[in-house]
A and B are shown apart, each in its own frame.
Chain A
């Protein structure tokens, strides 16, 4: 039996999200100070290399809101781009995340934690509601965070 159209669904309002992708390159080292050297090597493998290593990160930002009839936009891309640039790209691009981003002095900069940190920073965007953040560490590894409700 195929699903039938339900009256409630038809009355649901349409929702629009805007997605924008950004890039930055940074280095990190996965190491937890509360673990022994040997445990760190076992847990993090190659990512524990004391010299660190880097990635070209892709950050996909999704925001929602009302489409302003005067502009046809949820948020001006100039506003969104400059906010993301100031909050994420500038402080993270070409940096060693462990040393140069305060949030990662005590927290291991895995891409899970990076995703959450970026979400916390972008949640303050005043012009639209942040829906989720997706971070691609490599083309094979992707992480998403949509706040604690998920």
Chain B
């Protein structure tokens, strides 16, 4: 099995606010991330696909094809967007790294037909990331 990883970046803004909680609780739990004007990050996304190389092309899947999927499914939805208001799949969720990674996994999984989506890792900053994968496929 070969594990192939492609990286991409996108920039987006977000804020953490749970309308079910009081203003004080929101402030206490989310701190600076609760600023109503939002704030932004340069996100780095690493997408890992597992599969066997096709004997004809030598590729698990064409990297160009993967780039196009990432562009269509992720960049067009999230790049230079305010995640709370502009991304349908995140509506009703706090757009934390954990939740964004899961949304990205769910968006990409059905689109990757050669090989299978193994995991996504999303960096919010170089110091903080979330990983999403199918339980049982423990990531390296």
Q: A: which residues have CB within 8 A of B? A: 1-3, 5, 9, 12-22, 62, 67, 69-74, 76-78
Q: Which of A2, A15, A22, A71 contacts B132 (CB 8 A)?
A: A15
Q: B: which residues have CB within 8 A of A? A: 1, 16, 18, 20-21, 29-31, 50-52, 54, 93-99, 101-102, 105-106, 114-116, 121, 126-137, 139
Contacts of B126 in A (CB 8 A): 21
Supposing A16-B131, A18-B130, A21-B126 touch, asked if A72 and B94 sit within 8 A by C-beta, the answer is: yes
Q: Which of B96, B106, B115, B131 contacts A73 (CB 8 A)?
A: B96
Contacts of A62 in B (CB 8 A): 131
Known: A9-B116, A18-B128, A71-B29. 5 other contacts (CB 8 A): A3-B115, A14-B134, A14-B135, A15-B135, A72-B98
Q: How far is the CB of B82 from chain A (nearest CB, A)?
A: 16
A12 B95 Cβ-Cβ under 8 A: no
A-B contacts at CB below 8 angstroms, number: 90
Contacts of A15 in B (CB 8 A): 132-135
A5 B116 Cβ-Cβ under 8 A: yes
Q: How far is the CB of B78 from chain A (nearest CB, A)?
A: 16
Contacts of B98 in A (CB 8 A): 16, 18, 67, 72-74
The CA-CA distance from A73 to B1 in the complex, in Å, is: 32
Contacts of A69 in B (CB 8 A): 93
Contacts of A1 in B (CB 8 A): 52
Supposing A14-B105, A72-B93 touch, asked if A67 and B99 sit within 8 A by C-beta, the answer is: yes
Supposing A2-B115, A15-B133, A21-B126 touch, asked if A76 and B52 sit within 8 A by C-beta, the answer is: no
Supposing A9-B116, A72-B94, A78-B31 touch, asked if A17 and B131 sit within 8 A by C-beta, the answer is: yes
Q: What are 27 pairs between A and B in contact, CB < 8 Å? A: A2-B51, A2-B54, A2-B115, A3-B50, A5-B116, A12-B135, A14-B102, A14-B134, A14-B135, A15-B133, A16-B101, A16-B102, A17-B139, A18-B129, A18-B130, A19-B129, A19-B130, A62-B131, A71-B16, A71-B29, A72-B94, A72-B96, A72-B99, A73-B94, A74-B98, A74-B130, A76-B29
A20 B132 Cβ-Cβ under 8 A: no
Supposing A19-B128, A72-B98 touch, asked if A2 and B52 sit within 8 A by C-beta, the answer is: yes
B52 A16 Cβ-Cβ under 8 A: no
The CA-CA distance from A3 to B116 in the complex, in Å, is: 8
